[in-house]
Structure 1
């Protein structure tokens, strides 16, 4: 049973639902599974708790 973990900034429920549907459909197609065999989990991390390029994601973009 494939398990997908998605790490992201918080998103509205309707976007998470759309992502779950798209990921599930992709794995059904690629692996030939039933949708019920696929699990998708979200780990939502606020922008002030992670960084990229040495700065917090919540910092304004420069340039």
Structure 2
């Protein structure tokens, strides 16, 4: 049973639906596992809790 964790900033439900569909398809196509066995966990972090290069993404 593949388990995929995605860490990202907040996205719309529509974008998350498309993402998990494509991730699931990738595992089905490459590993031949049933779609029902693929779990995708999305962990969203707000911009004020994420930094790149020493700067919060909320400040960019």
**TM-score bracket, shorter-length normalisation:** over 0.9
Which blocks of at least 5 consecutive residues in structure 1 are unaligned?
A: none
Q: Which residue of 1 aligns with 2:4?
A: 4
Q: Which runs of 4+ in 1 moved over 3 A?
A: none
Number of residue pairs the alignment of both structures matches: 60
Q: Which residue of 1 aligns with 2:17?
A: 17
Alpha-carbon offset, residue 59 of structure 1: 1.1
TM-score for the superposition, normalised by structure 2:
0.96
Task: Please tell me whether Structure 1 or Structure 2 has the larger radius of gyration of its CA atoms.
Answer: 1
- Superposed CA RMSD: 0.6
Q: Which residue of 2 aligns with 1:55?
A: 55
Name the structure with the higher helix share. 2
TM-score for the superposition, normalised by structure 1:
0.91
Q: Which residue of 2 aligns with 1:26?
A: 26
Secondary structure at 1:7 match in 2 = strand
